[in-house]
Structure 1
């Protein structure tokens, strides 16, 4: 099998998973909800494996053929020597191909662009989060509630959310304190503390750094939505170790958790995680009911594993040549 055939197979697999992967993600939802923290790690890793495999198509195509010479003789000899050292398909090369330098440069430029855009998005998110935290700290007051340090802000809406720990941690509104009883409040605080202890903000910020073009890929979009849901379920699971399910469900109902997030518009686009969320009460009440089909989750895991194996198989020879030298 030549490098060109493998590249075509890999490209077809990437397109198929990118387009129809959301069906697998959705079908795997019930099994993922049983182990939400493991599922978040799997799905987050899967996104980056898909991107890595897509970027490795260009280095793979370089092995498919010799291509025209666009460098000086000396530089060309060095490049040919390095490529021959990495290429397991040297005996099956085609007499035509794009220049290797241009092909690899495309992949490197794409990688550099992803990193640059990601850093810009991270900086913007960090600045927005810092500004919102500063504004809320100017309005609110710090209190100790049920052993947790909480920023209480005046607001007529029942709000509960967390900043990253370095930006202030848990925030509650005065309406939340007014509406919830002691046990319900303990459940909400346990939920928010779980976001902090399980470092959900870090995961969310890393994924938020993905460029919009990547986020519009159906697989990536569905995966990001699933990760957000699973983080809330993981926090709910932690809260259920502090209070009973009925109490936690009651708190979510009072905060609007049965319909839409109680997050005001001005707080969107920053690194905060809120306690309310769509479908959470139904998930709490019906958690782990009935049999679960694990086959979609296993199929998705296998797809990600194959992408990771392909990426390693392509990149390892290049890395070895770079570290050991090839001339």
Structure 2
């Protein structure tokens, strides 16, 4: 019955993480914000591990559920031998009307479909970003500001954001250039340069594409929404290490809430904006890291557990296939 207990624990754990994960993420925010790049890795990894663990439920069930065969006798014998070779339990404890092969085919199909959908969405976003970059280049002009190559655009609002490097990089409005003091402008440019150096656009696009059809799951939605915040904090940390906190805070205040030119289709184009007065409080007076320590430990424990479970399921199947399903 070990296998039955394992699948029950996994199912309950996945459900609990899906429902209560957002509470852990909110509680862990003070600690995660002190290491924002690590937080981004944890969030991305958590999303990926949760999805893979969900897809692993079928292969685990296939180890101890037996049912009618949909395959020809020869292929069915190979399938049974491979399942027996991969199973760490060596037991079939439940006879059902559900073909065991379907427990492998359905998750595999779902995983392939999810991956294909993510690739299609990534390509769609890339096309939208290239189109937006072309529009911006037509309206603006290239310049070098405090050592940073930028695209200057005519806009009455103080705008500062970054597109992916291949799509133009840092974009700055003439209003921002006029309204920001020298140290404030340097802070903004360093913030956007950090986004480019640390490949934040790729991370945001990958997570948004992967989770596009899974946002009905509370954990997935909360993690996907929180990740851009930590990337902004990471860029803030890089900027204030060069210019200091007062300059960056003053720049955020002047830039106000994030805004984009109307011709940028924001949902598809990953434009990381330096604006955001809501981050000033974190810059000036961040909450103590210990306030979210227990929640962060809970998140780390859950992530490690999911990783171990995924390895425990995937490795036996890979090994069985590599060795020709020999017992």
TM category (shorter chain) comes to: over 0.9
SS at structure 2 position matched to 1:69:
coil
Aligned equivalent of 2:5? 5
Cα distance in 1 between the residues matched to 2:59 and 2:163: 41
- Once structures 1 and 2 are overlaid, which stretch shifts more, 31-40 or 286-295? 286-295
Aligned equivalent of 1:51? 51
Listed one character per residue, the Cα deviations across residues 107-158 of structure 1 (whole Å, up to 9, x for unaligned) are: 0110011011101100110000000001000110001110010100000111
Aligned equivalent of 2:317? 318
Which stretches of structure 1, 4 residues or longer, exceed 6 Å deviation after superposition? none
Q: How does 1:106-185 map to 2 (within 5 A)?
A: 106-185=106-185
Size of the aligned set, in residue pairs, is 324
Cα distance in 2 between the residues matched to 1:264 and 1:220: 29
Cα distance in 2 between the residues matched to 1:240 and 1:60: 49
Cα drift, residue 92 of structure 1: 4.6
Aligned equivalent of 1:262? 259
Cα distance change on mapping 1:102 and 1:45 into 2, 3 Å: same
Whether the aligned pair in 2 keeps the contact of 1:194 and 1:235 (CA below 8 Å) is yes
Cα distance change on mapping 1:8 and 1:245 into 2, 3 Å: same
Aligned equivalent of 1:40? 40
Aligned equivalent of 1:25? 25
Q: Normalising by structure 2, what TM-score?
A: 0.95
Whether the aligned pair in 2 keeps the contact of 1:28 and 1:294 (CA below 8 Å) is yes
Q: Normalising by structure 1, what TM-score?
A: 0.95
In structure 1, stretches of 5+ residues that fail to align are: none
In structure 2, stretches of 5+ residues that fail to align are: none
Whether the aligned pair in 2 keeps the contact of 1:65 and 1:97 (CA below 8 Å) is no
Cα distance in 2 between the residues matched to 1:135 and 1:284: 34
